[in-house]
């Protein structure tokens, strides 16, 4: 898509630049030829360093951009990003190259592997598994029946994913019109699952809107867990059944999340933190410790709270 076409779409008809825009990305990660945007003032500090060729943002912020970056003026940048995202959405199929299957790998006859995917050696790809275009699977991986891996996802070595789990489904992201409609922000990122990860059954790990949702080495995830887009789960963390991470939250290494616990989005959880079952995290956790409850508090405070409530009940 030519830049002047995008500009016209945004109503910036004065821009006639005909360079080809190859994709959208965040201010931080955009490269030459990509378009970016400022939809939240907390990213303003990234404007001056962006490598994007053009940026959608309110006119009042344009002076913060490096010289040479084309300004696409909009008072609703997020809405236009959503509208534009559809044009940059990758197709389900995009390669003519038949999938590459490593030595010793067994693929069940009802598995479906898209062109462009690459699977390592000694894997077991069971019945009903779907592996999307350009996905990359390491060695000694077991994908149990009916696992779905969306396009571009990367899975390391010795990973085990149980039946029905979905890797790389679209994150839940929309811009909202004044009429209360929701415009899909097409999710062009992927999921990276590092080595020695095990994921249970019927769990969902959404792909990133841009970039990657990352499940780091040695992480163990139970059944029916939800990992939102752009989350990073630190090395050797443990996430027990029916827990959920909203988008863009980062767990440090060796975090433990008890059953049915949850975190809000855009948080950072200190390494070695333990979240008790049912705990609900709404603020970042800086100091490791054991936390409980919703709202969250230190576990020992939660125990004291329960004692006080029990006393109140008797009074």
Q: Kindly list the catalytic residues.
A: 229
User: Nearest distance from residue 200's CB to a second copy, in Å?
Assistant: 6
Q: Retrieve residue 220's tokens.
A: 């163990």
User: Nearest distance from residue 313's CB to a second copy, in Å?
Assistant: 5
User: Nearest distance from residue 181's CB to a second copy, in Å?
Assistant: 6
User: Nearest distance from residue 304's CB to a second copy, in Å?
Assistant: 6
Q: Is 128 in the site for a second copy (CB under 8 A)?
A: yes
Q: Is 259 in the site for a second copy (CB under 8 A)?
A: yes
Identify the helix (H) or strand (E) that includes residue 227: strand 226-227
Omega cis (within 30) before 140: no
User: Nearest distance from residue 306's CB to a second copy, in Å?
Assistant: 6
Q: Is 222 in the site for a second copy (CB under 8 A)?
A: yes
Q: Is 223 in the site for a second copy (CB under 8 A)?
A: yes
Q: Is 190 in the site for a second copy (CB under 8 A)?
A: no
Q: Helix crossing, 77-88 with 3-10: angle to 10°?
A: 140
Kindly state the number of chain residues that form the binding site for a second copy, as judged by CB under 8 A.
71
Q: Which among 102, 144, 104 is positioned nearest to 127, based on CA atoms?
A: 144
**Long-range contacts made by residues 29-37, C-beta under 8 angstroms, separation at least 24?**
29/210, 29/211, 35/3, 35/6, 35/72, 35/84, 37/77, 37/78, 37/80, 37/81
DSSP 203: -
The residue count of the chain comes to 315
Between residue 200 and residue 219, which ones bind a second copy under the rule CB under 8 A?
Answer: 200-204, 206, 218
Between residue 46 and residue 85, which ones bind a second copy under the rule CB under 8 A?
Answer: none
Among 13, 16, 48, 110, binds a second copy (CB under 8 A): 110
Q: Is 163 in the site for a second copy (CB under 8 A)?
A: yes
User: Nearest distance from residue 74's CB to a second copy, in Å?
Assistant: 23
Among 73, 105, 241, 250, binds a second copy (CB under 8 A): 241
Q: Is 115 in the site for a second copy (CB under 8 A)?
A: no
Tell me which residue has tokens 């933190």: 273
| Candidates 40-48, 59-67, 73-81, 293-301; binding stretch for a second copy (CB under 8 A) | 293-301
Q: Is 283 in the site for a second copy (CB under 8 A)?
A: no
Among 83, 264, 270, 290, binds a second copy (CB under 8 A): 264
Contact 286, 249 (CB under 8 A): no
CA distance 231 to 171: 10
Identify the helix (H) or strand (E) that includes residue 292: strand 290-292
Q: Is 198 in the site for a second copy (CB under 8 A)?
A: yes
Q: Which among 97, 98, 157, 153 is positioned nearest to 123, based on CA atoms?
A: 157
Q: Which is nearer to a second copy, 130 or 210 (CB)?
A: 130
Q: Is 287 in the site for a second copy (CB under 8 A)?
A: no
Contact 214, 195 (CB under 8 A): no
CB atoms within 10 A of CB 128: 17
Q: Which is nearer to a second copy, 21 or 151 (CB)?
A: 151
């Amino acid at each position: 898509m030519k830049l002047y076409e995008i500009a016209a779409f945004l109503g910036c008809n004065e821009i006639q630049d005909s360079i080809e825009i190859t994709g959208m990305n965040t201010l931080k990660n955009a490269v030459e030829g990509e378009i970016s945007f400022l939809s939240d003032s907390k990213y303003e500090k990234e404007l001056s360093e962006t490598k994007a060729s053009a940026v959608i943002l309110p006119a009042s912020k344009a002076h913060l951009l490096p010289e040479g970056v084309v300004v696409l003026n909009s008072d609703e940048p997020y809405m236009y990003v959503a509208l534009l995202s559809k044009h940059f959405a990758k197709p389900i199929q995009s390669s003519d190259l038949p999938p590459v299957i490593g030595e010793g790998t067994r693929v069940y006859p009802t598995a479906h592997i898209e062109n462009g995917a690459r699977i390592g050696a000694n894997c077991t790809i069971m019945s009903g598994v779907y592996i999307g275009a350009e996905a990359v699977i390491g060695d000694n991986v077991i994908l149990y029946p009916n696992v779905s891996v969306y396009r571009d996802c990367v899975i390391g070595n010795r990973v085990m994913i149980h039946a029905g789990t979905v890797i790389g489904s679209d994150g839940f992201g929309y811009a909202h019109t004044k009429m209360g409609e929701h415009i899909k922000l097409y999710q062009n990122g992927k999921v990276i699952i590092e080595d020695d990860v095990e994921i249970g059954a019927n769990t969902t790990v959404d792909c990133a809107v841009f970039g990657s949702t990352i499940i780091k080495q040695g992480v163990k995830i139970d059944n029916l867990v939800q990992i939102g887009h752009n989350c990073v789960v630190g090395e050797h963390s443990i996430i027990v059944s029916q827990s959920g991470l909203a988008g863009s939250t980062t767990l440090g290494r060796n975090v433990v999340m008890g059953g049915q616990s949850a975190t809000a989005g855009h948080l950072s959880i200190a390494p070695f933190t333990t979240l008790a079952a049912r705990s609900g995290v709404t603020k970042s956790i800086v100091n490791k410790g054991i936390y409980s409850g919703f709202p969250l508090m230190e576990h020992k405070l939660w125990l004291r709270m329960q004692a006080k409530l029990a006393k109140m009940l008797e009074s």
